[in-house]
């Protein structure tokens, strides 16, 4: 890198380029959704912690998903909310790169946690007699730890490649946070290697796991149809349909965002897609699991009954 190149020290996030009155409305709207995200996932975490009947591998992984959702939303939404009410929408370069790293790490973690949850359901329904042997606490700890460690290492690879680039402008990012493809545009050098690595990483953590999920659910569906008990079949469908809804929402929006051709979506459409999987998806996850999961609803009733009787 040549010594006469000037590194940018701050970045302007253009965000949603709308009227000031509409910005205030968006601030209130997004603040409500962010509050619901924290509250919903916090309730899920609290229920799993307080109710001993939820101390099973499935709900342990669900607690990890709740932590990821809160962290994922918190890595981007507070900065977006601040920019909606501030006239100078500036972020320093170092916090911008940190934001890129965190949202990448949490996004990959969520993807892997969803795959592990699918594996848990596969073992529970297709191999019920061996479930406690296969999904023991040691295996659960190893699976969860691997998801977190691998995700942060892969995000670190992307950030290391980004920091090798010279950043000498432009200073403006046409997004509401430091999204990795928008950060590439700040570089005054060839970013083809970064884009190839990003595409390969996206294929590895999105397409590969999605194929595993789909194959697993084909086996799960076949096993459910073989269940003689109507109550057992309904219970299996209830837990699996909740997980399948979450998988569809997350993988669908992420694949469209990172693997579709650039020309197929405008920048404004990409902002909406980013908003969907960074704010709306984390908010919907606890709603899906609480409304479609009988165990979670019963746990909530037990906790509320204990509070009333105290």
pLDDT in tens, 49-89: 888 888 889 889 999 999 999 999 999 999 888 888 887 78
pLDDT digits 0-9 by tens, 243-262: 777 888 788 777 777 666 55
pLDDT of residue 103: 92
Residue 74's nearest CA partner among 101, 111, 102, 95 is: 102
For the cut 90, the answer to whether the pLDDT of residue 305 exceeds it is: no
Q: Which domains does the chain have, with CATH numbers?
A: 9-302 (1.20.1070.10)
**pLDDT tops 90 at residue 146:** yes
* Half-sphere exposure (Cβ direction) of 281: Cα atoms closer than 13 Å: 27
Between 223 and 293, the more confident residue is: 223
pLDDT at 95 over 60: yes
Query: From the DSSP assignment, how many helices (H) and strands (E) are in the chain?
Result: 12, 3
Which of 17-21, 122-126, 228-232, 238-242 ranks highest by mean pLDDT?
122-126
> CB 85: neighbour CB atoms within 10 A?
13
Position with higher pLDDT, 88 vs 196: 196
Kindly report which listed range (7-11, 78-82, 116-120) carries the lowest average pLDDT score.
7-11
For residue 309, the model assigns a pLDDT of 64
Quote the pLDDT of residue 1: 42
- Which of these, 147, 133, 135, lies nearest to 57 by C-alpha position? 135
- Of all residues in the chain, what percent carry a pLDDT higher than 90? 32
pLDDT of residue 307: 64
Q: Is the pTM of this model over 0.85?
A: yes
Q: Which among 284, 295, 245 is positioned nearest to 47, based on CA atoms?
A: 295
Continuous segment of H or E residues that includes residue 148: helix 137-163
What does the alpha-carbon distance between residue 4 and residue 168 come to, in Å, rounded to a whole number?
10
Using a 10 angstrom Cβ sphere, with 0-12 exposed, 13-18 middle and 19 or more buried, the burial of residue 4 is exposed
């Amino acid at each position: 890198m040549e010594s006469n190149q000037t590194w940018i020290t701050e970045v302007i996030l253009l965000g949603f380029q709308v009227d000031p009155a509409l910005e205030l409305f968006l601030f209130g709207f997004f603040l409500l959704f962010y509050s619901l995200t924290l509250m919903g996932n916090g309730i899920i975490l609290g229920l799993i912690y307080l109710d001993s009947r939820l101390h099973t591998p499935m709900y342990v992984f669900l607690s990890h998903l709740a932590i990821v959702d809160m962290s994922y939303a918190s890595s981007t939404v507070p900065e977006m909310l601040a920019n909606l009410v501030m006239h100078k929408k500036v972020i320093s370069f170092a916090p911008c790169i940190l934001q890129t790293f965190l949202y990448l790490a949490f996004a990959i973690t969520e993807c892997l946690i969803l795959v592990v949850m699918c594996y848990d359901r596969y073992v529970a329904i297709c191999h019920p007699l061996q479930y406690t042997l296969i999904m023991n606490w040691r295996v659960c700890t190893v699976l969860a730890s691997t998801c977190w460690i691998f995700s942060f290492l892969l995000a670190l690879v992307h950030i290391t490649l980004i920091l090798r680039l010279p950043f000498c402008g432009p200073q403006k990012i046409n997004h509401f946070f430091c999204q990795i493809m928008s950060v590439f545009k700040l570089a005054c050098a060839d970013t083809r290697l970064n884009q190839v690595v990003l595409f390969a990483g996206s294929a590895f953590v999105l397409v590969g796991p999605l194929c595993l999920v789909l194959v697993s659910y084909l086996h799960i569906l076949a096993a459910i149809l073989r269940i003689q008990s109507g109550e057992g079949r309904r219970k299996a469908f209830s837990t699996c349909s909740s997980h399948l809804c979450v998988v569809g929402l997350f993988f669908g929006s992420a694949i469209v965002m990172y693997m579709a051709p650039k020309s197929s979506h405008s920048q404004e459409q990409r902002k909406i897609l980013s908003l969907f999987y960074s704010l709306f998806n984390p908010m919907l996850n606890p709603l899906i699991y609480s409304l479609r999961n009988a165990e979670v609803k019963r746990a909530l009733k037990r906790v509320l009954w204990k509070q009333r009787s105290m």
